[in-house]
A and B are shown apart, each in its own frame.
Chain A
Amino acid sequence: QVLLVQSGSELKRPGASVNVSCGASGYPFSNFVLNWVRQAPGQGLEWMGLVNPNTGNPFYAQDFTGRFVFSVDTSVGTAFLQISSLKAADTAVYYCARGSALDVWGQGTTVTVSS
């Protein structure tokens, strides 16, 4: 069974950093890119970009450059999203999803940024 399991909810102060993990199982980790998708409260889905587990190379969508970093640890089949200098506008559910057509999704990680 293909699964993506994400880390738990986070509450952070403005200006802090957060790390979200996405652990993959049930398939060869290096065979599929991993995407990150943001969903702000009551809003739609935004594609943030992806990381290629084979090369470690990330690609960031236009609105997600600078404070966002995608990485992978192939030894444990896990992808990571780091967001630095957090703002209230970063409050959202963050999802990881497999492959170019996002066929399998993690359960989501809620990041709340509040003073």
Chain B
Amino acid sequence: VLTQSPRTLAVTLGQPASISCRSSQTLLHSDGKTYLNWFQQRPGQPPRRLIYKVSARDSGVPDRFSGSGSGTDFTLTISRVEAEDVGIYYCMQDTHWPTFGGGTKVEI
């Protein structure tokens, strides 16, 4: 089970924001890698992957987005929030059969 907090995050433009994702079991795979991903879902759009393997940014993702963590505790950080960052953010693990966190709504 992946537990995200907070459920809703009110942010100020230009300020940093962080979302937590905690797993009920370690996400460290036997191959030594950790398969924790972050997705952004803007209103009315499909999800878009931002981060994979904890901290690798997908192509085209602004560098204000960063991922960190290990084992069971992970964090998505937005260094300076912009208006286009409004939406719902989900963590997802695929170390085991995939599961999603419950989501965090980011609003200005």
Contact = CB atoms under 8 A, between A and B. Distances in A.
B97 A47 contact: yes
Interface of A, secondary structure class, is: loop
Contact of A101 (B48, B90, B94, B100): B94
9 contacts: A44-B101, A45-B103, A47-B99, A61-B97, A101-B94, A102-B47, A102-B94, A102-B98, A105-B47
B52 A108 contact: no
Contact of B103 (A35, A37, A44): A44
Interface of B: 35, 37, 39, 41, 46-49, 52-53, 58, 88, 90, 92, 94, 97-103
B97 A102 contact: no
A101 B102 contact: no
Contacts of B41: 45
Contact of A105 (B46, B52, B102): B46
Interface of A: 35, 37, 44-47, 59, 61, 95, 97, 100-103, 105-108
